[in-house]
């Protein structure tokens, strides 16, 4: 009898949405009701997947924890994830839930609208976390101690569990919102002072219910509301890293912007990688800003 190969050991876990992005693009200006020629593509997406892909490009070996159907779309998605360097052995493969999808329409005037259908991830609930509780990657008695990139597509109840459960209190949690509409789901990490939050100025405003004019101001407010550690970005303006011991604010390098979608994921992944290399607070922030600037200027990210 042939034995199943032993799963590779991940150096980071990415927990959240792994789904198919279906993107319709036209180079014409669009508005509500437009019906125009263009291209429709399908590619792996979901915030956790996007961060995992970027981490893999930066040389890390991420494992994805998510829900993927056992349908044809799910099988193709898992194969695509493996191709992109992800460990897929710990995914929850559901018999009865379809693989999730995100659909966006982009015109010459930017994103027109998008719908995220992450119902299967939400329905799977804590089943996606089994490997961290059943001893495969960790358990309540022997908690997982490595880094985790977590996205805010999970339901608030599950995010609250991660923010409070003993099985997660030794993990180095790095948490990103899934969209401005889901930013509020990250509040448990503020109330329970667990993990590092990666947010832009708009998401910081939603979390604090307050307008901010700079990343430094937003970082102070997030800490005042209980966050243990935050990284606040603000596009081409300064970004701030802060915790109870102090803060550092740096301006990104000035570049010509060729693309912005994905800048936040690139910043977060580059920052995690920089800290994994042992860089100190200020050096790691500078590394992440440099990598994100290279990304937005359209050059290869490394
Ligand atoms: N115009 C720019 N010039 C230089 N760097 C930029 C620019 N825009 C974004 N970046 C880099 O990307 C980082 C993240 O950008 P931003 O704050 O826009 O994140 P985001 O809104 O989460 O991004 P996304 O577009 O992926 O949702 C910035 O801190 C910066 O390092
Ligand atoms: O609610 C969500 N919106 C968007 C995303 C993902 O973000 C990317 C677009 O910003 C895209 O990959 C989409 O799947 C998600 O996972 N959840």
Angle at 76 (CA atoms; ends 134, 81), nearest 5 degrees: 60
Between the CA of 48 and the centroid of ligand 2 the distance, in Å, is 9
Return d(Cα 82, Cα 120) in angstroms, integer: 21
Cα dihedral: 267, 273, 274, 276 (round 10): 150
Does residue 24 lie within any of the structural domains?
yes
In 3D, which of 260, 288, 286, 261 has the Cα closest to residue 273? 288
Encode pLDDT of 233-288 as tens digits.
999 999 999 999 999 999 999 999 888 788 999 999 999 999 999 999 999 999 99
Residue range of the domain that includes 270: 12-296
Compute the distance from residue 295 Cα to the ligand 1 centre, in Å.
9
CA of 40 to the centre of ligand 1 (A): 25
The protein residue whose alpha carbon is closest to atom 3 in ligand 1 is 236
Report helix angle 201-208 to 215-224, nearest 10: 30
Residue 102: inside a domain: yes
ipTM of the complex: 0.98
5 domain-assigned: no
- Mutate which of 46, 81, 200, 206 for ligand 2 pocket (most atoms within 8 A of beta carbon): 46
116 alpha carbon – ligand 2 mean position (Å):
7
Residues 80, 202: Cα–Cα separation, whole Å: 32
Q: Which two tokens stand for residue 65?
A: 């924890």
Q: What is the pLDDT of residue 7?
A: 74
- Domain-located, residue 30: yes
302 in any annotated domain: no
Residue nearest to atom 19 of ligand 1 (CA): 264
Which residues, judged by CB distance below 6 Å to any ligand atom, belong to the binding site of ligand 1? 200, 233-236, 239, 252, 255, 257, 260-265, 267, 289, 292-293, 296
Evaluate whether residue 183 is within a structural domain. Answer: yes
Q: Whose CA is nearest to atom 22 of ligand 1?
A: 264
- Alpha-carbon distance of 183 to 234, in angstroms, equals 16
| Tally of CB atoms within 10 A around 28 | 11
With respect to residue 221, please indicate whether it lies within any of the assigned structural domains: yes
Residuewise pLDDT in 10s, the chain (302 residues) = 566 777 789 999 999 999 999 999 999 999 999 999 999 999 999 999 999 999 999 999 999 999 999 999 999 999 999 999 999 999 999 999 999 999 999 999 999 999 999 999 999 999 999 999 999 999 999 999 999 999 999 999 999 999 999 999 999 999 999 999 999 999 999 999 999 999 999 999 999 999 999 999 999 999 999 999 999 999 999 999 999 999 999 999 999 988 878 899 999 999 999 999 999 999 999 999 999 999 999 865 44
Instruction: Give the chain's domain count.
Output: 1
Report the C-alpha gap between 37 and 46 in whole angstroms: 26
Closest listed ligand to the CA of 258: 1
| Distances in whole angstroms, Cα of residue 299 to Cα of each of 261, 292, 293 | 14, 10, 9
Residue 170: partners with Cβ closer than 8 Å, 6 or more residues away = 143, 144, 145
CATH number of the domain enclosing 209: 3.40.1190.20
Q: How would you class 172 by CB atoms within 10 Å of its CB: exposed for 0-12, middle for 13-18, buried for 19 or more? A: middle
CB-CB contact of 286 with 250 (8 Å): yes
C-beta neighbour count of 5 within 10 angstroms: 7
> How far, CA to CA in Å, does 108 sit from each of 11, 20, 92, 219, 296?
39, 23, 38, 34, 18
**Domain assignment of residue 3, yes or no:** no
**Mutation test of ligand 2: which of 41, 43, 45 has the most ligand atoms closer than 8 Å to its C-beta?**
45
131/107 Cα distance (integer angstroms): 41
| Best CA proximity match to 193, nearest among 224, 151, 166, 216 | 224
């Amino acid at each position: 009898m042939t034995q199943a190969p032993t799963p590779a050991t991940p150096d980071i876990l990415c927990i959240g949405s792994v789904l198919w992005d279906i993107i319709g693009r036209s180079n014409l200006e669009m508005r509500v009701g437009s019906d125009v020629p263009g291209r429709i593509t399908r590619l792996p997406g979901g915030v956790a997947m996007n961060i995992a892909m970027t981490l893999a490009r930066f040389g890390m070996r991420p494992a994805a924890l998510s829900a993927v159907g056992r349908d044809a779309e799910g099988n193709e998605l898992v194969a695509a994830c493996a191709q992109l360097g992800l460990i897929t052995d710990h995914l929850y493969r559901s018999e009865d839930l379809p693989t999730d999808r995100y659909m966006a329409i982009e015109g010459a005037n930017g994103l027109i609208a998008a719908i995220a259908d992450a119902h299967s991830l939400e329905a799977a609930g804590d089943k996606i976390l089994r490997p961290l509780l059943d001893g495969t990657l960790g358990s309540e008695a022997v908690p997982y101690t490595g880094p985790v990139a977590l996205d805010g597509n999970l339901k608030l109840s599950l995010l609250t569990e991660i923010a409070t459960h003993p099985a997660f209190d030794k993990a180095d949690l790095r948490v990103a919102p899934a969209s401005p509409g889901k930013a509020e789901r990250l509040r448990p990490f503020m109330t329970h002072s667990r993990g590092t939050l990666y947010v832009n100025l708009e998401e910081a405003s939603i979390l604090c219910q307050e307008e901010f004019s700079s990343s430094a101001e937003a970082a102070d407010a997030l800490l005042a509301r209980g966050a243990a550690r935050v990284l606040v970005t603000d596009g081409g303006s300064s970004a701030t890293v802060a915790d109870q011991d102090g803060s550092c604010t740096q301006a990104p390098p000035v570049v010509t912007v060729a693309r912005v979608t994905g800048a936040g994921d690139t910043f977060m992944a580059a920052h995690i990688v920089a800290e994994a290399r042992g860089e100190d607070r200020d050096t790691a922030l500078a590394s992440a800003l440099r990598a994100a600037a290279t990304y937005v200027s359209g050059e290869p990210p490394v």
